[in-house]
Amino acid sequence: MAMMANPWLMRAHPLAAMNRFHGMPFDGAFLLPPFRKPKRVRTAFSPGQLLKLEQAFEKNHYVVGSERKQLATGLGLSETQVKVWFQNRRTKHKR
25 within some domain: no
How many whole angstroms separate alpha carbon 55 and alpha carbon 51?
6
Residue 31, pLDDT score = 65
17 within some domain: no
Give 30 or 87, the one with higher predicted confidence.
Answer: 87
Q: Which domain, by its residues, includes 86?
A: 47-94
What's the predicted TM-score (pTM) here?
A: 0.61
How many whole angstroms separate alpha carbon 53 and alpha carbon 51?
6
40 within some domain: no
The residues pairing with 25 across neighbouring beta strands, listed in sequence order, are 18
Residue 40, pLDDT score = 84
State the total domains in the chain.
1
Helices (H), 1-95: 7-12, 47-59, 65-75, 79-94
How many whole angstroms separate alpha carbon 66 and alpha carbon 74?
12
User: CATH number for the domain including 74?
Assistant: 1.10.10.60
